[in-house]
């Protein structure tokens, strides 16, 4: 059976100090968040993913959003350089983790910036949000790293949300889903399906027809069930207060050497 591992990082005790950019700050309960994170990791494990914990980063409030630190295409890991200066200390341990799993490591060099949450992979197409924490230099370095491996890189404007994947993700058949008020260029996607809730735009593909998604999007879960998918819901409410979603709490790795 192909290996399926998920990099995760437990939340910092300073989680409540995490950055917010497009929403108003509301109080975050770190203890409640830890319980939600443990249940999220448990859902991954229950559906056939082996969690691999990255070293904790207690001094990095946003470190739990591990997806932003690295982008993996095939067996190449591109270590990001965040557009948020305060998050750049998060990457060192993530780089060690992906190298330890057998990835060839590349790095985004200054002055370019790239956040993993801006990268949506749909088959060999790699959509990259540009305009927030990812700039033209970071996009160019991603092209240089992944196009030789067969990737087709498509730039997507982002200004209404923190990251591209705050607005859109994709179903197993390649249909891109999104909450229309936050999507700026739906025409860039060959197939686009609007969802009724902002949190419904985020799904993690667990395998088969199973979709991991937030419990805060029941209407979207009903929509996906009607399409023949099997929603698996988790409460991540404390992370949603920091513009987090189900995708940014893990990095799913398939078919790497065991």
What is the reported pLDDT for 228? 98
What pTM value is reported for the model?
0.96
Number of neighbouring beta carbons within 10 Å of residue 258: 8
CATH code, residues 4-254: 3.75.10.10
Distance, in Å, from the CA atom of 31 to the CA atom of 41, rounded to the nearest integer, reads 16
What is the reported pLDDT for 254? 84
216-230: pLDDT as tens digits: 999 999 999 999 999
The residues annotated as belonging to the active site are: 163, 248
What is the reported pLDDT for 1? 43
What is the reported pLDDT for 3? 82
Could you tell me which residues come within 8 angstroms of residue 112 by beta carbon, excluding any fewer than 6 positions away?
A: 81, 135, 136, 137, 138, 139, 140, 141
What is the reported pLDDT for 149? 97
What is the reported pLDDT for 234? 98
129-175: pLDDT as tens digits: 999 999 999 999 999 999 999 999 999 999 999 999 999 999 999 99
Distance, in Å, from the CA atom of 233 to the CA atom of 181, rounded to the nearest integer, reads 23
Distance, in Å, from the CA atom of 256 to the CA atom of 244, rounded to the nearest integer, reads 27
Q: Taking the domains of the chain in order of start, what are their residue ranges?
A: 4-254
What is the reported pLDDT for 257? 60
What backbone torsions phi and psi does residue 5 show, to the nearest 5 degrees? -120, 150
Positions of the chain with pLDDT under 70:
1-2, 255, 257-258
What is the reported pLDDT for 2? 55
What is the reported pLDDT for 191? 98
- Taking the mean position of all CA atoms in its chain, how far away is CA 210? 17
Could you tell me which residues come within 8 angstroms of residue 250 by beta carbon, excluding any fewer than 6 positions away?
A: 6, 7, 8, 40, 41, 44, 51, 66, 67, 204
């Amino acid at each position: 059976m192909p290996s399926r591992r998920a990099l995760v990082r437990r939340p910092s005790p300073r989680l409540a100090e995490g950055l917010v950019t497009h929403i108003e700050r509301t109080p975050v309960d770190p203890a409640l968040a830890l319980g939600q994170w443990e249940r999220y990791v448990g859902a991954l494990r229950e559906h056939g993913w082996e969690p691999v914990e990255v070293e904790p980063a207690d001094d990095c409030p946003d470190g739990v959003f591990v997806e932003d630190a690295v982008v993996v295409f095939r067996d190449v890991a591109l270590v990001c350089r965040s557009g948020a200066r305060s998050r750049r200390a998060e990457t060192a341990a993530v780089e060690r983790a992906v190298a330890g799993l057998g990835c060839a490591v590349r790095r985004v060099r200054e002055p370019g910036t790239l956040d993993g949450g801006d990268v949506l992979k749909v088959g060999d197409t790699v959509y990259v949000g540009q305009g927030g924490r990812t700039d033209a230099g970071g996009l160019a370095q991603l092209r240089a790293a992944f196009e030789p491996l067969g990737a087709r890189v498509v730039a997507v404007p982002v200004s209404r949300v923190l990251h591209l994947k705050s607005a859109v993700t994709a179903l197993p058949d390649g249909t891109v889903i999104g909450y229309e008020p936050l999507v700026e260029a739906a025409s860039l996607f060959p197939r686009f399906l609007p969802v009724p809730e902002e949190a419904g735009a985020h799904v993690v593909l667990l395998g088969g027809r199973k979709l991991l998604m937030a419990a805060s999007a029941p209407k979207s879960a009903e929509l996906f069930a009607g399409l023949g998918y099997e929603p698996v819901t988790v409460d991540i409410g404390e992370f949603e207060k920091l513009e987090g979603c189900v995708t940014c709490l893990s990095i799913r790795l398939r078919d790497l050497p065991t």
